[in-house]
Amino acid sequence: MTTLESPPSDNDSAFDEPVGKAGDKVFFGLSFGAAALILITLAAVAFFLFIQGLPTFTGDGTELDGDGSFFAYVGPLVFGTIYLSCIALLLATPVAIAVALYISHYAPRKVAQTLGYFIDLLAAIPSVVYGLWGITVLAPVISTSMFPWLRDNLGFIPVFGSDVAIAQSGRSTFTVGVVLAVMVLPIITAISREVFLQTPRLHEEASLALGATRWEVIRQAVIPYGRSGVISGAMLGLGRALGETMAVAIILSPARGYFWDVLTAQNSNSIASNIALQFPESSGLEVNRLIATGLVLFLLTFGVNAIARRVANAGFSGADG
């Protein structure tokens, strides 16, 4: 990946000296080439997905199941993707913030370091493992204990109350939401902890000097400083949840269409999980259609990440201290 053509000249280097000039040129060429390759790679991603997705629209639609309309096909998938991710985020974010605050401001320092390491490790556990855990351990437990309780006591909330029977197997939107929450929690926690720890010491000491309690220090100094970091951490978690494939593919029992109920066995699938489930058995135009849905997912996560970066860059106005 680093074989490159003739390196561009290094005119603006202030240290162009006869000694080692060739070495300088080669080294600059390599690094410039690598940076340029980033641009080329991303252009290639968009280009090849587009080229391979395009036949969905130009090809013979009768080859496909359904009415062959791409938007009728991708609509429920987009809905499912966003719905699952939002459930995960709603469950994970408050807990992640509390855990991050616990690690950064409550736990003893030695313990906090170990906990931070443990959280990082959990963020690196492969998603297929979380998927297997979700279907083997979590689904049976919450479908027998929590599902009936939610339906009976919180049935007045439309997504819980349902005429359709609850999924006995636990292969429902709610279970996947919980598993995704467990998966994104380490990510949001790690980023939040990082920003909470960066709170300027003077801000905290100023607050303490005014007689604030620990909670008041957090409310006055830590949270205002870390807010944008937490939001961008949550958005990164959302980006991860949107693209999460294996846990959804293993646990969810999918159906075609838009389904709001979270406890039933009929659920809207996510784009990524649909690709993983369909791809190995697809051929011809079906493959092209799956690639086109992949492009939609790419644009979706791109949008979310762009917002996350904008929030992160907005930052804390007094952060120079």
Partner 1 sequence: MSLTTSTLEPDLVPDDGGGRDPMTSGSLDGAPMWGIRLGSIALGLLGYVAFGSVNWALWAVIALATYMVATLLVSRVVESPRQATDRFAAAVMTSAFVVVLFPLFSVVWTVIDRGSNRFDWEFYTSSMRGVIGEGGGGYHAIVGTLIVTALTAAFAIPFGLFTAIYLVEYADGGRFAKAVTSLVDVMTGIPSIVAGLFAYALFVVLDDVPVLTALSTGVGHRSGLAGAVALTLLMTPVVVRTSEEMLRLVPNELREASYALGVPRWKTILKVVLPTAVSGILTGIVLAIARVIGETAPLLVTVGITADVNWNPFEGRMATLPVFAYNSYKFPTLPPEASIDRAWAAALTLVILVVILFSIARILSSILKPKGLK
Residues 79-108 contacting partner 1, CB under 8 A: 94-95, 98-99, 101-108
313 makes contact with partner 1 (CB under 8 A): no
What's the closest the beta carbon of residue 77 comes to partner 1, in angstroms? 12
77 makes contact with partner 1 (CB under 8 A): no
d(CA 91, CA 169): 22
DSSP state of 17: -
* Sites for partner 1 among residues 194-233 (CB under 8 A): 194, 197, 201, 204-205, 208, 210-218
Q: In the structure encoding, which two tokens stand for residue 259, read together?
A: 């389904």
CA angle 93, 96, 102 (to 5 degrees): 145
Task: Give the 3-state secondary structure percentages of the chain, helix then strand then coil, rounded to 5.
Answer: 70, 0, 25
- Give Cβ neighbours of residue 255 (< 8 Å, ≥ 6 apart): 266, 267, 268, 269
124 makes contact with partner 1 (CB under 8 A): yes
What's the closest the beta carbon of residue 57 comes to partner 1, in angstroms? 16
**254: part of which helix (H) or strand (E)?**
strand 254-255
Q: Which three-class secondary structure state does DSSP give residue 188?
A: helix
* Sites for partner 1 among residues 130-149 (CB under 8 A): 130-133, 135-138, 141, 145
Comparing CB distances to partner 1, the nearer of 228 and 261 is: 228
What's the closest the beta carbon of residue 33 comes to partner 1, in angstroms? 7
* Sites for partner 1 among residues 274-303 (CB under 8 A): 275-276, 279-280, 290-291, 294-295, 297-298, 301-302
What's the closest the beta carbon of residue 164 comes to partner 1, in angstroms? 25
**268: part of which helix (H) or strand (E)?**
strand 267-268
Stretch that binds partner 1, among 35-43, 55-63, 169-177, 256-264 (CB under 8 A): 35-43
109 makes contact with partner 1 (CB under 8 A): yes
Check the CA dihedral 32-34-38-43 and report its sign: positive
